Structure 1
Amino acid sequence: MVRQLTAIMFADMVGYTALMQENEVRAKDDLDRARRVMVQRVDEHQGQILQYYGDGALGTFQSAIGAVEAAIAIQADLKGPPQIPMRIGLHTGDIIHDEEGVFGDGVNLASRVQGLSIPGGILVSEKVFDEIKNQTRIETRSMGSFALKNVKRPMELWAVTNPGIEVPDPKRMGSRPSQSRNSVAVLPFLNMSPDPENEFFSDGITEELINALTRINGLQVTARTSSFAFKGREQDVRTIASELGVATVLEGSVRKAGDRVRITAQLINAEDGYHLFSKNYDRELLDLFQTQDEIAETIANELEDRFRPGPPTAESDEGLGPSAVTDSGAEAEPVPGVLPETHPGGAPPRPSETRGKHGSHFHDAEAYTQFLKGVHRFNYWTPEDARAAIRHFQRSLELDPSCALPHSGLANAYTFLAATGQMPGEVAYSRAKEAAQRGLDLEEGAGEAHAAMATVLFFHDWDFKGAYKHFQKALTLTPGSAHLRRLYAMYLNATGDSEAALDELEWALEMDPLSSPIRSALGEALMKGGRYQEAADQFRRVLEIDPEFRAAREMLGWAHMWTGRPREALHEWEEINRRTEDPFKVIPHRIWALVALGRTDEADQLLQLLEERRRREPEIALEMDFALAHLGLGQTELTLDYLERAVDRKLGMVVFLKVIPPIQRLADHPRFLKLLEKVGIPENRTDIS
């Protein structure tokens, strides 16, 4: 057994497991190349590879300077096409090395540092920084202090910033200090009644509780999509809380007998599984929906004090307010993006005081079910699913015309079809605007209705200022809605504020961590910022949850394209054709891949197939498809011809002209600049607000 003080390097290949599932040969080739590069560069800097861990490696060096220089050389080598995403972390500490392997506190800490890095990045600990800080050829920047597992105090980490090295944003580094205690997930309440028809009532209680708790100022509440993903699953509460990223879980049951109902609610501390609150509520069931509302508001009001800032209450010493101390000993961070509100008397309103009118509530069980089915279909972001969603929303309104939410759903679905050219714009936008306005008429205080109007103004009217006002109103009314923050992030991206868009999407993902639409949107935002490997990781995670989520597979193909992997891109896009059994899907995308692979004859054949689609489906606007196809073929002027036609037809997707990665190569072309001016896309969001 040998104990020594040494500079330790931990490195691992990002996305290797997912790549193995997609293309075993490519994954093996990439891993072999990465190992060859590491062995060569480590040896050149007087180091040695002591152990391989699947797609990762552990190396040691005689000096911290040599370790950092080797890491820089490794990342530079792995940049060259095809790019191999590698994360590297460095620390100086004790290791123990014997015939069974390498271990010790130094190894563990180097692993923790590496886990916070990003593809193409290098992070170092304080000890390494102390040894390299006077080396002018090594550039670094502090990322701030982080609470690392099994480390008693927060540790400052530094990023190597030499040219070509990816530098993480400290606000978005993969692991943050411990989850704020001011967070809760409401699990679907269990129906304990003998009649399965009462399932709707128990689900309704859960829904209303989520809505009511969302209105508590400063409380982070997991969205419905992620909470209901655990319905019917027998899992430990602590496991669920860890997956959802919350400190507390609210669960319960509903037992109905005749005209009486008993609801049991329990708030559980995720860290140790102990109950922080438990209570029964007995009610006479006079009106189904009114009882749901009243019970949800009662429970929310009783829990509110536990989530407010200030000293612990007499019932609990947990201190669940924003000033509570986290597991790491640091103060919990405030929820990003929400400014403290001011209210008469200094106290925020209780949930029951912030309720809107009746328009956001259903009075018919089947109407509510149809609405949820519509939301589910629309979230797949495909023309077929949008049309199916419209049918569900229309059926919901037939059963319950007084509810605002299906009108907002209709507006969003029609806007999507118009923006993507799948329905004549003059028809779709007219219907969208009518539905959005009807939602506002039914409930002016509904955030969803304002967001629906914002998207119509954004995509069709190109009224960026008007859209901004409606988005702000929507977020003021419903600050805890992950869905609204996703829509707002889309707007921010188009109007030039990509950093704010990422902030919104990351917060949305914290609220709804299992949402495929939000995670896919986060990937798109990362890709628009040139962070292709991080984007690809997000798309793969979506597809692991839902292989049929077409938008993520489509964008994963583009991520492969921009990192020198046209063969993998073509594989993803052909998989879409296979799954949909539709040869017309993603034709422009496949043209790009085929051109990159030198298969130009096949690319030309696909262009002819696109022409055939235009003849078969004259009602669909294909100007953006043709523009993208001709750009892939290197035909700039034809590309601009089609973009001009898209603008003339007011196709909604032209609002993204500045940020669509393939089209960004036209950024300085005079004809393209005129198009941007015609659409009125602002230089940045400050020009609007």
Structure 2
Amino acid sequence: MALGDSAEEPRFIETVGRRGYRFIGARALTWRKFVLAGFAVFVIVIAAAAYFGKKPQTTNTIHSIAVLPLTNLSRNQEQEFFADGMTDQLITDLAKIPGLDVISHQSVMRFKSSRASLKQIAHELGVDAVVEGTIMRDGSRVRVTAQLIDARTDRHLWASDYERNPDDVLSLQDEVAHDIAQQIGSKLVKAPRATPINSEAYLLYLRGRYEWNKLPPNFGPAMAFFEQSIKDDPNFALAYAGLADCYATRGGWKTPHTPSDDQTARSLAKKALRIDPSLSEAYTTLASLDRFTYDYAASESNFRRAIAANRHYIIAHQWYALLLIRLGRLDEAIREARIAVQLDPLSWYANATLATALEFSGRTVEAIERRQALMRLYPEDAQQHFKLF
């Protein structure tokens, strides 16, 4: 046969009784195409399964998260600032993820060394998931472990270990935040740093924030650390912002307030913004200074810039609410105060600001409920008992 066909098992031409011959090549070719197509579909399915099998497998979408204080495993307890600082910066980084609510520093710090279950902590903070981990700074190495847990199901979604040189701590933070963002199905986009940050200056900055975050703030050591950080790196914007915060707020903590403090704070905040125009902290400091000098238009403008730069910066929302109360825009004040409480649910300041806004707006029942919640959080706070008397 010219086609190499077989009479017993024809593939192209077959005999049809009483009619002659029939060409069956098209049918054979069609069957062959069908087999090849089926094989191709099988390959695609296997490839897709392999690809999607690598992607994070989460039962429910995570809309809110709390980064619990990293446990300091270093033998030197003076490294506590490093653990708290890394926790704070991880919170700041994750807050840049669109659509994700991240609980602020003050609320999560209430659970430092807590024996409460993760489910209980998540319930009190009102979050879907928590990040917990450890950190050790030992000689020339920094080691971090981190894990992501769905608090609704107590399911461990992800865990990883990291090890770096202390000079590379910023890239370590970036990598941890990036990996967590990937696990919850988001992408963390950070603007590139204009100039490299001196690692020693950064560690001094963390120590300064550690002292400033105490209640009451430890202004002397905090200012000394910020000043040394600036000496080590004159282009480190965050150190200027931290020092500005100290000058702007120390008058409210049994420290004599002087006009020169306000002038110094304003100068430092402006210097920070010249280096980095996206610093929410510096805009917030300027807004607060403007509020106390009755320049309400400038104050509101700076608060709006602060919130646009970082929608999770609780102090901006809380202080903006106080400005709106003073301006008599009470519905807006309640809105900003509620955002502050959502971001920092255990904060005395955020809850007290919301209670004040509710009181001024005549919503007495809600104000009483908020004061009662504050009493449960801070049972020794005599002010709340007086307010409810």
- TM-score when normalising by structure 2: 0.72
Post-superposition shift, 1:272?
A: 1.4
Which residue number in structure 2 is paired with residue 81 of structure 1? none
Which residue number in structure 2 is paired with residue 272 of structure 1? 153
User: Given the alignment of the two structures, is residue 189 of structure 1 paired with residue 70 of structure 2, yes or no?
Assistant: yes
Is the radius of gyration larger for structure 1 or structure 2? 2
Contact 2:142 2:166 survives alignment (8 Å): no
Residues 233-632 of structure 1 mapped to structure 2, 5 A cutoff: 233-283=114-164, 285-287=165-167, 290-291=168-169, 293-308=170-185, 350-353=188-191, 363=201, 365=203, 368-377=206-215, 390-401=219-230, 402=236, 403-413=239-249, 423=257, 426-460=259-293, 462-547=294-379, 549=381, 552-553=383-384, 557=386, 559-560=387-388, 568=389
**Secondary structure class of the residue paired with 2:112:** coil
Which residue number in structure 1 is paired with residue 107 of structure 2? 226
Unpaired segments of 5 or more residues in structure 1? Answer: 1-178, 310-348, 378-384, 561-567, 569-689
Which residue number in structure 2 is paired with residue 155 of structure 1? none
CA spacing shift, 1:369–1:546, aligned 2, 3 Å: farther
- TM-score when normalising by structure 1: 0.43
CA spacing shift, 1:257–1:449, aligned 2, 3 Å: closer
Amino acid paired to 2:229: D
Moved more, 360-369 or 506-515: 360-369
Post-superposition shift, 1:432?
A: 3.8
Post-superposition shift, 1:192?
A: 3.0
Contact 1:252 1:266 survives alignment (8 Å): yes
* C-alpha distance in structure 2 between counterparts of 1:193 and 1:375, whole Å: 21
CA spacing shift, 1:452–1:261, aligned 2, 3 Å: closer
**Secondary structure class of the residue paired with 1:352:** coil
* C-alpha distance in structure 1 between counterparts of 2:195 and 2:364, whole Å: 44
* C-alpha distance in structure 1 between counterparts of 2:295 and 2:175, whole Å: 41
CA spacing shift, 1:416–1:255, aligned 2, 3 Å: closer
Which residue number in structure 1 is paired with residue 6 of structure 2? none
CA spacing shift, 1:307–1:415, aligned 2, 3 Å: farther
Unpaired segments of 5 or more residues in structure 2? Answer: 1-59, 231-235
* C-alpha distance in structure 2 between counterparts of 1:414 and 1:510, whole Å: 26
Q: How many residues align?
A: 323
1:349-404 Cα offsets, whole Å, 9 max, x none, are: 73433667678997265653343333434xxxxxxx6xx65534433333323512
Residues 100-139 of structure 1 mapped to structure 2, 5 A cutoff: none
Higher RCO (Cα < 8 Å, 6 or more apart): 2
Post-superposition shift, 1:479?
A: 0.9
CA spacing shift, 1:503–1:279, aligned 2, 3 Å: same
Amino acid paired to 2:176: I
1:463-490 Cα offsets, whole Å, 9 max, x none, are: 2222222111111111111222111111
Post-superposition shift, 1:412?
A: 3.0
Post-superposition shift, 1:434?
A: 3.0
Contact 1:411 1:435 survives alignment (8 Å): no
CA spacing shift, 1:246–1:271, aligned 2, 3 Å: same
Which residue number in structure 2 is paired with residue 207 of structure 1? 88
1:33-62 Cα offsets, whole Å, 9 max, x none, are: xxxxxxxxxxxxxxxxxxxxxxxxxxxxxx
Contact 1:359 1:404 survives alignment (8 Å): no
* C-alpha distance in structure 2 between counterparts of 1:397 and 1:263, whole Å: 25
CA spacing shift, 1:445–1:280, aligned 2, 3 Å: same
* C-alpha distance in structure 2 between counterparts of 1:196 and 1:226, whole Å: 22
CA spacing shift, 1:187–1:477, aligned 2, 3 Å: same
* C-alpha distance in structure 1 between counterparts of 2:139 and 2:250, whole Å: 43
Amino acid paired to 1:454: A
Amino acid paired to 1:352: K
CA spacing shift, 1:430–1:255, aligned 2, 3 Å: closer
Contact 2:85 2:209 survives alignment (8 Å): no
CA spacing shift, 1:499–1:241, aligned 2, 3 Å: same
